[in-house]
Structure 1
Amino acid sequence: MNKSVLVLYYSRGGHTARISRAIAEHIVKQGSQCDMMHINEAKAEGVDWSKYDVVALGSCVLYGSYHKSVFDFATEYETELTAKPASFFSVNVVARNPEKRVPDNNKYLQKFIELSPWKPLDVKVIAGKVDYPAWRWYDRLMIQFIMKITNGPTDPTSVIDYTDWDDVNVYAEHLIKLAK
């Protein structure tokens, strides 16, 4: 049976948008229907929640947390997110280490669950991307500092995509299976 999936996301530099697009495209390739919206678009234009069998909400992490608008969205739409199968995916660079892709070992994902009024029953951690040349100078300096502490890349010319794109496809298939 054809399922309908909504992928909502917050992206700052574009990588979480790219991951969301890959999820949506793979869902469509599997024969299901999928719409994708930035959370700001969803808030501005509204969402017909009844159209969807399952919802995924994803966000990137910057400076150890999610943008305030992600928490605001989860607060405002907690009822809708809880009413049907839903998943939260966290995109962060600490997940470059395989053990940090395990939800219980990812402090950023755990922080979302702790601080959000919506308590997703299904969660996913996806490794993000280091893109120093694309970042503003102060973001680059702060992230270099964090990377130095965590033994990550600090070369200001580094562009490293840690995302496991095959695993993103597996997650897309998982979302279809979540639908009732």
Structure 2
Amino acid sequence: MARALFLYSSREGQTKKILHYIDEQFTELDCELVDLHTAQGIDFSQYDRVLIGASIRYGHLNKKLYSFIDQNLEQLKQHKVAFFCVNLTARKEEQGKDTPEGSAYIRTFLKKSPWQPKLIGVFAGALYYPRYGWFDKMMIKLIMTMTGGETDTSKEVEYTNWKKVSLFAQKFIDL
């Protein structure tokens, strides 16, 4: 059975949920799920492929993602590794914001990162207003007001396009 390492940097859990969904799609994969923020000394050669998922918060990927890339750059370049980003802007599929080419976050990532993944996905995340603290709730509501999104803070809204996740997962398996 093929082994896969799934690394995640998630704020509210949607990135991790997407990785669980991908894991469930493929019974031929033995997946290990690891929080990128606590990952240390990972030997990529123990895995047939690696998938890294990271979420955007306030327009940025977590700095620990970049530290992880710097520390593991040679392994990232030598193994079958894919990357995906989760953000609320990607909900605007009609504007192409859910593609690597149309995502400002991916363009920024590729400029900042010495690692250039061969396979990149961009998925819409979820709004979990009731789970947020007051500050995050108000900031996210402001951002959603400016971008034409959901502003009812009593709601939880999942924007993730699961069909698109499945298509990406198949590409990942075929790496």
TM-score (norm. length: structure 1): 0.90
In 2, Cα distance between equivalents of 1:119 and 1:128: 23
Q: How many residues align?
A: 173
Which one of the candidate residues 10, 29, 34 is aligned to 1:32? 29
The amino acid of 2:150's aligned partner reads P
Q: What are the equivalent positions in structure 2 for 1:70-85 lying under 5 Å apart? A: 70-85=65-80
In 1, Cα distance between equivalents of 2:148 and 2:130: 19
In 2, Cα distance between equivalents of 1:122 and 1:139: 31
Q: What are the equivalent positions in structure 2 for 1:141-180 lying under 5 Å apart? A: 141-178=138-175
The amino acid of 1:86's aligned partner reads V
Q: Which runs of 5+ in 2 are unaligned?
A: none
Specify the SS of the correspondent of 1:148.
Answer: helix
Shift >3 Å, 4+ stretches: none
The amino acid of 1:14's aligned partner reads G
- 1:50 CA displacement: 1.0
In 2, Cα distance between equivalents of 1:176 and 1:51: 16
The structure with higher relative contact order (CA 8 Å, sep 6+) is: 1
In 1, Cα distance between equivalents of 2:73 and 2:127: 31
In 2, Cα distance between equivalents of 1:103 and 1:82: 19
Specify the SS of the correspondent of 1:104.
Answer: coil
| Contact 1:3-1:176 within 8 A present in 2 as well | no
- Report % sequence identity: 35
Which one of the candidate residues 99, 105, 109 is aligned to 1:108? 105
Q: Which structure shows the bigger proportion of residues in strand conformation? A: 2
Q: Partner of 2:84 in structure 1?
A: 89
- 1:141 CA displacement: 1.1
The alignment's C-alpha RMSD in Å is: 1.4
